[in-house]
Structure formats: structure tokens, C-alpha cells
Amino acid sequence: MPRRSRWIAAFFIACFALPSNAADTVLFDNLNDTQHPLGDVFITPNSLWAQSFRTTAIDSIVNAVSVKFYRGAGSTGSIAFEIWDLNSGDNKPLSPPARNVGTLDISTLSTDASNPTQVDFTTNISLNTSTDYYLVARIDSSLSGLVYWSRTDSQPSPGYSWYVTSSNDGGSSWDPTTTDPTNSQLMKITAVPEPSTYALGAIGTLVLGWLGRRRGRRTA
């Protein structure tokens, strides 16, 4: 195989090999922290709860979201999960455009507060790097009964963005944000880099290899 063809082949191999070996980056995770005896309750249709998180300088495509919820006996309805921007002025969620994560059927949730249901979503949502966002849980108008987003009574790990707020009017207005460590919703969010990041990494790997090969020739 000609030398140029070998370099081109190596480039494409590197581009496809890097993503398969890359691990997800955790943007927020307190799913296994000590659970508060009671979760934060949704009692009215169109109410919302929001927990913030932050992307890294590299990882900005959210690929998985997990939360823990439970319900009151007989409660029905659905919850839509969305990612909203965070207003840096007051740290509250900005109105949509929202990014849809998925929908949860409330009737499938546990009724045991000490053993909430973990709900997992697979996503592919591209966000800006090094930016704060909110995961927003929105109750639809068909809510009947009570549903709870489990929370922790321990502070999230250092470095996590963890503002919490709620709205009872569909997001038109929000309660003051809090960073009270006894009011952090149980969730996990992971992300991976943009595909262009892998390509740049592959190019850098090849350039370093070429420079090393060239240096070796000079010293031979």
C-alpha cells in the first residue's frame, strides 16, 4: 500500500476507534446518595421541578439521563422531561425552546417512598460546552393524585451545578432558586464529546506519529 494511502487509512481508523473507547463523562450523579425520607411533590397539573447541571469543556452531547420517582397510590398521568437553558442573571430556567428527553407514565412508578423507581432515558442532545442547564420535569394536565421526585439530604459532589427550583404555572414564573443540600433531586446525567472532537483527536494522534517518524529518520 502506498505511504499516502496508509496515512489516510490510519486517519479513518483513528476517527472510528476513538469513540468506541471513550467513556461517558458524568455531568451530575447523586442517584446513590442518602435519600431524604420525602421527595419533592407535584400536586398540580402543569407544575415543574428543575435541577441544574453543567457540561464540561469537551463533553456536551447528553446521551443518558436517569431519575428516581415514586407516586401516591392510584396516581396517574405523565411527566415530560426536558432540558432548559439556565439564565445566568437569576439562575432560573429560561423558557423554551426546550430539548425533549422523554416521557414517563406515572402509573408505572413505585408507591414506596423508600424504594423509588429509577427511570432511565437514552438521548442524543447537543448542548454548548462549559454551560449550565436545567433538567426540567413537567407534569401534564391529566395528573390525578401525587407524584414525587426523590431527593437527597447530602450535598452533591464538588464541582456539580446544583440549583433547584420549581414552578406552579407551567414555567411562566419560578420560585427562588436554592442550593440547600437537603433539596437536591436524585438524578444522573452523562455526556460525550461532539464528533468533531474525535476527529481533532485523531488528527493530533497522526501528526504526533508523523513527527516521531520524521525525527527517527533524522537521527538514523
| Residue 31 or residue 20, greater confidence | 31
Does residue 121 belong to any structural domain of this protein? yes
Does residue 13 belong to any structural domain of this protein? no
Total number of domains constituting the chain: 1
Tell me the range of 3-7, 22-26, 58-62 where mean pLDDT is highest.
58-62
d(CA 53, CA 125): 14
Does residue 6 belong to any structural domain of this protein? no
Does residue 124 belong to any structural domain of this protein? yes
Over residues 37-88, the pLDDT tens digits come to 878 888 788 899 999 999 999 999 999 999 999 999 999 999 999 999 999 8
| Residue 14 or residue 126, greater confidence | 126
Does residue 58 belong to any structural domain of this protein? yes
Does residue 146 belong to any structural domain of this protein? yes
Give the CA dihedral 144, 150, 151, 157, nearest 10 degrees: -140
Average pLDDT, the chain: 81
Which CATH number is 59's domain given? 2.60.120
Does residue 93 belong to any structural domain of this protein? yes
Give the pLDDT of residue 163.
Answer: 86
Type and span of the H or E element at 194: none
Q: Which of 70, 208, 54 is nearest to 149 (CA)?
A: 70
Give the pLDDT of residue 36.
Answer: 84
**Given pLDDT bands bounded at 50, 70 and 90, which one contains residue 111?**
very high
Q: What is the residue range of 169's domain?
A: 21-207
Cα–Cα distance list, 103 to 6, 80, 83, 146 (Å): 48, 4, 13, 17
Tell me the range of 95-104, 112-121, 204-213 where mean pLDDT is highest.
112-121
Does residue 16 belong to any structural domain of this protein? no
Exposed (0-12), middle (13-18) or buried (19+): which is 34, by Cβ within 10 Å?
Answer: exposed
* Residue listed under C-alpha cell 432540558: 83
Lowest mean per-residue pLDDT among 96-105, 134-143, 160-169: 160-169
β-pairing, 40-42 vs 151-152, is: unpaired
| Residue 219 or residue 170, greater confidence | 170
Judge whether residue 6 has pLDDT over 80: no
